[in-house]
Amino acid sequence: MSQLVVLVVFGGRSAEHEISLVSARFVVASLDRSRFLPVLVGIDKAGVWRLLDEPQLPKRADPRENRVDESAPRAWLLPTPVPGGRGRLEVEGQEPVPFDLVFPVLHGPLGEDGAIQGLFELASVAYVGSGVAASAVGMDKVLQKRVLAHAGVPVVPFVSFGRHELEAQADATLAACARLGFPLFVKPANMGSSLGVSRVADAGGLRAAVDHALAYDTTVLVEPGVRDCREVEVSVLGNEVAEASVAGEIVVTHRDGFYSYEAKYLDAAGSRLSVPAELAAEHAERVRRMALAAYAALGCAGLARVDFFVSGGDVYVNELNTMPGFTAISMYPRLWAASGMDGTMLVTRLIELGLERHAARAKLQTSR
Ligand SMILES: Nc1ncnc2c1ncn2[C@@H]1O[C@H](COP(=O)(O)OP(=O)(O)O)[C@@H](O)[C@H]1O
Ligand SMILES: [Mg+2]
């Protein structure tokens, strides 16, 4: 059997560019080479696609030093199907490279928000992960909370507003935030990796936190801090029929007092993962059930990590990540490893799910 060519796409014009490179390294290392052949495409910080060789994948442990090589040959995908059914990567000055599926290992806006998934749909190529709508809703914390709440999945109460509303009526907008009760968490609606997220202890720090969030997105989300908050996560894998991993917990000890960018990526002592989470059996069962309900409510495909806040007997879904961190130490693969599935089995299954979803959608009727 000849190998399937997997286009691994990473980097991107997002603040999570650097993390994406570390995730891509894990995915490439986990590919079963007897079945799959990787072709690497790094999207540089300017948004230009570059065809890279495997040794060019950055190996540095500190994500801040990772960047896609901006001198590698330019590559692109045409937003139109190629006759014969396979995808075709165009490369500057070289023959086009045929491929069978895209594995977008991209986090954050333009990678995880449906934008690039739309390009794959137009080009009619198979890809790993959620489609346009679930990716977009998964990226937007405000839309996501509305969809989850509508489906009966408990979420933390919130207010949201745009820059325009803040400028038109600053006092009323900030007062509405304060009424939620301090401490508050202020976040950009569309981002990840805790970028732009602040914990605000009192009214004095609110405006600066809002302005900080507005540097990352035009919409801001403000919610009360959950007291005695435990952070529990569940990995979900599947298409219409999905399964949930065991739950894991992130125990945050960082001086920021929450799971900040520093605690996530820069300070190994800032947090630790506890797998499986030490939860009472009925709580563990409840979060797994809620993870599947949240996954179905958004209509996710392939994979998602569902993050919870657990406080005493209360459980809230904080957010879904449709392309969760995929580094060797990341929760998503670790939870599957604890559920008996290693990195290679997981990556293989994700590719199969992408191919299955593509095949099912290709059968849909396109005329009356
Ligand atoms: N309402 C909240 N109560 C307590 N902690 C919170 C709350 N919202 C966010 N946090 C903390 O901030 C971190 C990042 O927030 P999150 O909404 O998950 O954004 P991101 O998408 O960037 O991960 C969380 O992991 C948690 O530590
Ligand atoms: Mg988070």
User: Average pLDDT of 146-157?
Assistant: 97
| pLDDT value of residue 61 | 61
Please tell me the least confidently modeled range out of 107-111, 118-122, 272-276.
Answer: 107-111
| pLDDT value of residue 47 | 94
Of the residues 259, 262, 331, which should be mutated to test ligand 1's pocket, given the most ligand atoms within 8 Å of the CB? 259
Confidence tier at 345 by pLDDT (50, 70, 90)? very high
* Rounded distance from Cα 257 to ligand 2 centre (Å): 14
Residue 257 CA: which ligand is closest?
1
Cβ atoms of residues 43 and 69 within 8 Å: no
Q: How far is 176 from 61, CA to CA, in rounded Å?
A: 42
The percentage of the chain sitting over the pLDDT mark of 90, rounded to a whole number, equals 77
198-200 vs 126-127, strand pairing mode: unpaired
φ/ψ bin of 62: left (φ > 0), alpha (ψ from -120 to 50), beta (otherwise)? beta
Mean pLDDT over all residues of the chain? 93
Atom of ligand 1 at shortest range from CA of 156: 1
Query: Comparing 63 with 153, which gets the higher pLDDT?
Result: 153
Cβ atoms of residues 222 and 186 within 8 Å: yes
The percentage of the chain sitting over the pLDDT mark of 70, rounded to a whole number, equals 98
| pLDDT value of residue 62 | 65
Tokens 């820069």, residue? Answer: 266
Identity of the amino acid at 210: V
Q: Is the pLDDT of residue 159 over 90?
A: yes
Confidence tier at 106 by pLDDT (50, 70, 90)? very high
**Strands, E, within 49-192: which ranges?**
49-52, 75-77, 87-91, 97-99, 101-105, 126-127, 159-162, 184-188
Of the residues 145, 155, 187, which should be mutated to test ligand 1's pocket, given the most ligand atoms within 8 Å of the CB? 187
Cβ atoms of residues 64 and 193 within 8 Å: no
Please tell me the least confidently modeled range out of 117-121, 213-217, 265-269.
Answer: 265-269
Please tell me the least confidently modeled range out of 78-82, 267-271, 318-322.
Answer: 267-271
Nearest residue to 303 via CA among 127, 114, 130, 101: 130
User: Average pLDDT of 12-31?
Assistant: 90
Confidence tier at 239 by pLDDT (50, 70, 90)? very high
Residue 198 CA: which ligand is closest?
1
| pLDDT value of residue 283 | 92
Q: Does 194 contact ligand 1 (Cβ within 6 A)? A: yes
* Rounded distance from Cα 73 to ligand 1 centre (Å): 39
* Other Cβ atoms closer than 10 A to 269: 8
Q: Is 207 exposed, middle or buried (0-12, 13-18, 19+ CB in 10 A)?
A: middle
Please tell me the least confidently modeled range out of 4-13, 187-196, 242-251, 278-287.
Answer: 187-196
Residue 185 CA: which ligand is closest?
1
User: Average pLDDT of 147-156?
Assistant: 97
Q: How far is 327 from 19, CA to CA, in rounded Å?
A: 8
Cβ atoms of residues 245 and 324 within 8 Å: no
| pLDDT value of residue 194 | 84
* Other Cβ atoms closer than 10 A to 135: 26
Cross-strand pairs, 200: 184
Query: Comparing 111 with 121, which gets the higher pLDDT?
Result: 121
Nearest residue to 324 via CA among 23, 8, 66: 23
| pLDDT value of residue 60 | 64
Identity of the amino acid at 16: E
Using only C-alpha atoms, the chain has a radius of gyration, in whole angstroms, of: 21
Confidence tier at 322 by pLDDT (50, 70, 90)? very high
Walk me through the domains of the chain, giving residue ranges and CATH numbers.
4-127 (3.40.50.20), 138-153+227-359 (3.30.470.20), 159-224 (3.30.1490.20)
Q: What is the pLDDT of residues 168-227, one digit of tens each?
A: 999 999 999 999 999 999 999 988 788 899 999 999 999 999 999 999 999 999 999 999
Q: What is the pLDDT of residues 30-77, one digit of tens each?
A: 999 999 999 999 999 999 999 999 888 877 666 666 788 888 999 999
- 3-class DSSP state of 56: helix
| pLDDT value of residue 18 | 85
| pLDDT value of residue 363 | 85
| CA dihedral angle for residue 237, residue 242, residue 243, residue 244, rounded to 10 degrees | 70
Cβ atoms of residues 175 and 203 within 8 Å: no
Cross-strand pairs, 315: 310
- 3-class DSSP state of 235: strand
